[in-house]
């Protein structure tokens, strides 16, 4: 939460969390890609925030 946003809205900590989880959770790589794709097309608000919110829920639940 305290990290500056990375490329248009995705918190850097979210990207680090996804990268750490790639080994045990292949889907995380896809989510990171979608987040980056959303940022590159300018659709950051809905794409990255939806993925970020979903990822936070997964991290909290330990899914």
pLDDT given at position 19 = 62
pLDDT tens, the chain, 63 aa long: 444 444 455 566 666 666 665 555 555 556 555 555 555 555 555 666 677 777 777 777 765
Q: Is the pTM of this model over 0.85?
A: no
Rounded Cα gap, residues 55 and 32, in angstroms: 10
List CB contacts of 37: < 8 A, sequence separation 6 or more: 47
pLDDT at residue 4, rounded to an integer? 46
CA–CA dist 59, 24 (Å, integer): 13
Cβ pair 55, 18 in contact under 8 A? yes
Q: Say what the pLDDT of residue 59 is.
A: 76
């Amino acid at each position: 939460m305290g990290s500056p946003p990375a490329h248009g809205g995705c918190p850097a900590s979210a990207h680090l969390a996804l990268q750490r989880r790639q080994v045990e959770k292949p889907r995380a790589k896809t989510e990171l890609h979608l987040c980056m794709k959303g940022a590159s097309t300018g659709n950051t608000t809905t794409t990255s925030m939806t993925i970020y919110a979903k990822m936070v829920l997964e991290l909290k639940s330990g899914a």
